[in-house]
């Protein structure tokens, strides 16, 4: 049986700023593109500290996953990209507030020189769809 990739879109997350989609669902998984701390209503980078940026990123990811029929609780793999690794403890605290499913997802944190729009943080992830056997 041929599997089809399905584009996932949410109006509650920012539109892509390049030639990609917010997420793709395929074979029981959702592959979410990196989310920046961009307000979906204004299209602007949120103002404030790293916690404010992390809050917006996780809200954006939650909206994309919800549009796919999944949630942050079903995250399997997460990658954090930080322009300043000194922010890691503060981002980690926000991460713990938003990713509450058990077992926790596998994760990597990568220090980067810069991110689009001057953001301090970007996060991408892979999540299960609840109808998939591995999500039960």
Burial of 54 (0-12, 13-18, 19+ CB in 10 A): buried
3-state secondary structure of 97: helix
- On whether residue 136 sits in a domain, the answer given is no
The predicted-structure confidence for 18-70, as pLDDT tens digits, reads as follows 999 999 999 999 999 999 999 999 999 999 999 999 999 999 999 999 999 99
- On whether residue 31 sits in a domain, the answer given is yes
The domain of 44 spans 6-131
- On whether residue 44 sits in a domain, the answer given is yes
Domain count, the chain: 1
Q: What number is the average pLDDT over the span 100-125? A: 97
- On whether residue 95 sits in a domain, the answer given is yes
Per-residue pLDDT for 133 more than 60?
no
Q: What is the pLDDT of residue 131?
A: 75
Q: What is the pLDDT of residue 36?
A: 98
- On whether residue 59 sits in a domain, the answer given is yes
Per-residue pLDDT band for 136 (boundaries 50, 70, 90) equals very low
The predicted-structure confidence for 73-89, as pLDDT tens digits, reads as follows 999 999 999 999 999 99
Per-residue pLDDT band for 123 (boundaries 50, 70, 90) equals very high
Q: What is the pLDDT of residue 134?
A: 55
- On whether residue 82 sits in a domain, the answer given is yes
- On whether residue 1 sits in a domain, the answer given is no
Reply yes or no: is the peptide bond before residue 40 cis, omega within 30 of 0. Answer: no
**CATH code where residue 96 lies:** 3.30.1330.40
Within 13 Å, how many C-alpha atoms sit on residue 127's CB side? Answer: 29
């Amino acid at each position: 049986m041929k599997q089809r990739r399905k584009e996932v879109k949410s109006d509650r997350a920012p539109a892509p700023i390049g030639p990609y989609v917010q997420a793709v669902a395929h074979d029981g998984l959702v592959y979410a593109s990196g989310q920046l701390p961009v307000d979906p209503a204004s299209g602007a980078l949120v103002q404030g500290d790293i916690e404010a940026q992390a809050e917006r990123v996780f809200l954006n990811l939650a909206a994309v996953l919800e549009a796919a029929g999944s949630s942050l609780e079903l995250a399997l793999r997460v990658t954090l990209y930080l322009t300043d690794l000194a922010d890691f403890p503060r981002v980690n605290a926000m991460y713990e507030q938003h990713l509450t499913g058990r077992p926790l997802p596998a994760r990597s944190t990568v220090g980067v020189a810069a991110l689009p729009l001057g953001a301090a943080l970007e996060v991408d992830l892979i999540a299960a769809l609840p109808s998939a056997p591995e999500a039960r």
